Chain A
Amino acid sequence: MSKGIMYIDDQRVEFDGEKNVLAVIRKAGIDMPTFCYYSELSTYGACRMCVVENEWGGIDASCSMQPKDGMRIKTNTLKLRKHRKMILELLLAAHCRDCTTCDKNGKCKLQELAKQFGITRVRFNDTREEMEPDNSSPAIVRNPNKCILCGDCVRVCSEIQGMGVLDFAFRGSRLQVMPAFNRKMSETNCISCGQCAAVCPTGAITIKKDIDKVWEAIYDKKKRVIVQIAPAVRVALGEEFGLPAGENVLGKLVAALKMVGFDHVYDTTLGADLTVMEESKEFLKRLENGGPFPMFTSCCPAWVRYIETQKPEMLENISSCKSPMQMFGATAKEHYRSMESVDEKETIVVAIMPCTAKKYEAAREEFQKNGIRDIDYVLTTQEAAAMIKECGIVLDELENETPGMPFGMGSGAGVIFGATGGVAEAVIRRCVPKKDSKTLKELEFCGVRGMDYVKEASIDVDGREIKIAVVHGLKNAQELIKKIENKEVYYDLIEVMACKGGCVGGAGQPFGQTDKKIKRAEGLYNADRLSQIKRSEENPMVMSLYNGVLKKNKHELLHVHYGNGDGK
Chain B
Amino acid sequence: MGNKLDFAKADEILAQYGKKESGLIAIMQDIQAEYRYLPKEILEYVAKELGISIAKVYSVATFYENFSLEPKGKYVIRICDGTACHVRKSIPILEKLRSELGLSAKKHTTDDMLFTVETVSCLGACGLAPVLTVNDEVHAAMTPEKAVELIEKLKKEAALDE
Show the binding face of A for B, using Cβ within 8 Å.
Answer: 158, 163-171, 178-181, 188
Once A167-B58, A181-B40 are accepted as A-B contacts, the answer to whether A158 and B53 lie under 8 Å apart by CB is yes
User: Which of B43, B53, B58: most chain A CB closer than 10 A?
Assistant: B53
The reply to whether B58 and A164 form a contact with Cβ atoms under 8 Å apart is: no
User: What's the Cα separation between A398 and B25 when bound, in Å?
Assistant: 61
Q: Residue of A at shortest CB range from B61?
A: A169
| Residues on B with beta carbons closer than 8 Å to the beta carbon of A163 | 53
User: What's the Cα separation between A152 and B16 when bound, in Å?
Assistant: 35
What is the interface of chain B mostly: helix, strand, loop, or mixed? Answer: helix
The reply to whether A170 and B62 form a contact with Cβ atoms under 8 Å apart is: yes
The reply to whether A169 and B53 form a contact with Cβ atoms under 8 Å apart is: no
List 11 extra interface pairs beyond A169-B59, A180-B54, CB under 8 A: A163-B53, A164-B56, A167-B53, A167-B55, A167-B56, A169-B62, A171-B62, A171-B63, A179-B55, A181-B58, A188-B55
| Residues on B with beta carbons closer than 8 Å to the beta carbon of A165 | 53, 55
The reply to whether A164 and B62 form a contact with Cβ atoms under 8 Å apart is: no
| A-B contacts, 21 listed (Cβ < 8 Å) | A158-B53, A158-B56, A163-B53, A164-B53, A164-B54, A165-B53, A167-B53, A167-B55, A167-B56, A168-B63, A169-B62, A169-B63, A170-B62, A171-B63, A178-B55, A180-B43, A180-B54, A181-B40, A181-B58, A181-B69, A188-B55
| Residues on A with beta carbons closer than 8 Å to the beta carbon of B62 | 169-171
User: What's the Cα separation between A170 and B53 when bound, in Å?
Assistant: 16
| Residues on A with beta carbons closer than 8 Å to the beta carbon of B52 | 164
B28 CB-CB contact with A under 8 Å? no
The reply to whether B40 and A168 form a contact with Cβ atoms under 8 Å apart is: no
- Report B46-69 CB contacts with A as 1/0, cut-off 8 Å: 000000111111110011000001
User: Which of B40, B54, B57: most chain A CB closer than 10 A?
Assistant: B54
User: What's the Cα separation between A171 and B54 when bound, in Å?
Assistant: 17
Q: Residue of B at shortest CB range from A182?
A: B58
Q: Residue of A at shortest CB range from B40?
A: A181
| Residues on A with beta carbons closer than 8 Å to the beta carbon of B69 | 181
User: Which B residues from 55 to 112 make CB contacts under 8 A with A?
Assistant: 55-59, 62-63, 69
Q: Residue of B at shortest CB range from A169?
A: B62
Interface size on B, residues (CB 8 A): 13
| Residues on B with beta carbons closer than 8 Å to the beta carbon of A179 | 55
The reply to whether A164 and B63 form a contact with Cβ atoms under 8 Å apart is: no
Q: Residue of A at shortest CB range from B52?
A: A164
| Residues on B with beta carbons closer than 8 Å to the beta carbon of A167 | 53, 55-56, 58-59
User: What's the Cα separation between A460 and B57 when bound, in Å?
Assistant: 47
| Residues on B with beta carbons closer than 8 Å to the beta carbon of A168 | 59, 63
User: What's the Cα separation between A337 and B77 when bound, in Å?
Assistant: 71
User: What's the Cα separation between A164 and B50 when bound, in Å?
Assistant: 14
The reply to whether A166 and B55 form a contact with Cβ atoms under 8 Å apart is: yes
User: Which of B56, B57, B62: most chain A CB closer than 10 A?
Assistant: B62
User: Which of B56, B59, B69: most chain A CB closer than 10 A?
Assistant: B59
Min CB gap B66→A, angstroms: 12
| Residues on B with beta carbons closer than 8 Å to the beta carbon of A181 | 40, 58, 69
User: What's the Cα separation between A164 and B63 when bound, in Å?
Assistant: 17
| Residues on A with beta carbons closer than 8 Å to the beta carbon of B59 | 167-169
The reply to whether B58 and A169 form a contact with Cβ atoms under 8 Å apart is: yes
The reply to whether B58 and A180 form a contact with Cβ atoms under 8 Å apart is: yes
- Report B24-45 CB contacts with A as 1/0, cut-off 8 Å: 0000000000000000100100
The reply to whether B55 and A170 form a contact with Cβ atoms under 8 Å apart is: no
User: What's the Cα separation between A181 and B41 when bound, in Å?
Assistant: 11
The reply to whether B63 and A170 form a contact with Cβ atoms under 8 Å apart is: yes
Min CB gap B80→A, angstroms: 21
User: What's the Cα separation between A166 and B54 when bound, in Å?
Assistant: 9
User: What's the Cα separation between A171 and B65 when bound, in Å?
Assistant: 9
User: What's the Cα separation between A167 and B60 when bound, in Å?
Assistant: 10
Closest 10 CB pairs of A and B: A164-B53, A167-B55, A180-B58, A180-B54, A167-B59, A180-B55, A169-B62, A170-B62, A171-B63, A168-B59
| Residues on A with beta carbons closer than 8 Å to the beta carbon of B53 | 158, 163-165, 167, 180
| Residues on A with beta carbons closer than 8 Å to the beta carbon of B55 | 164-167, 169, 178-180, 188
| Residues on A with beta carbons closer than 8 Å to the beta carbon of B40 | 181
User: Which of A158, A166, A167, A179: most chain B CB closer than 10 A?
Assistant: A167
| Residues on A with beta carbons closer than 8 Å to the beta carbon of B56 | 158, 164, 167
User: What's the Cα separation between A125 and B59 when bound, in Å?
Assistant: 28
Min CB gap B51→A, angstroms: 10
User: What's the Cα separation between A85 and B52 when bound, in Å?
Assistant: 38
User: What's the Cα separation between A258 and B4 when bound, in Å?
Assistant: 62
Q: Residue of A at shortest CB range from B47?
A: A180
- Report B116-134 CB contacts with A as 1/0, cut-off 8 Å: 0000000000000000000
User: What's the Cα separation between A158 and B51 when bound, in Å?
Assistant: 12
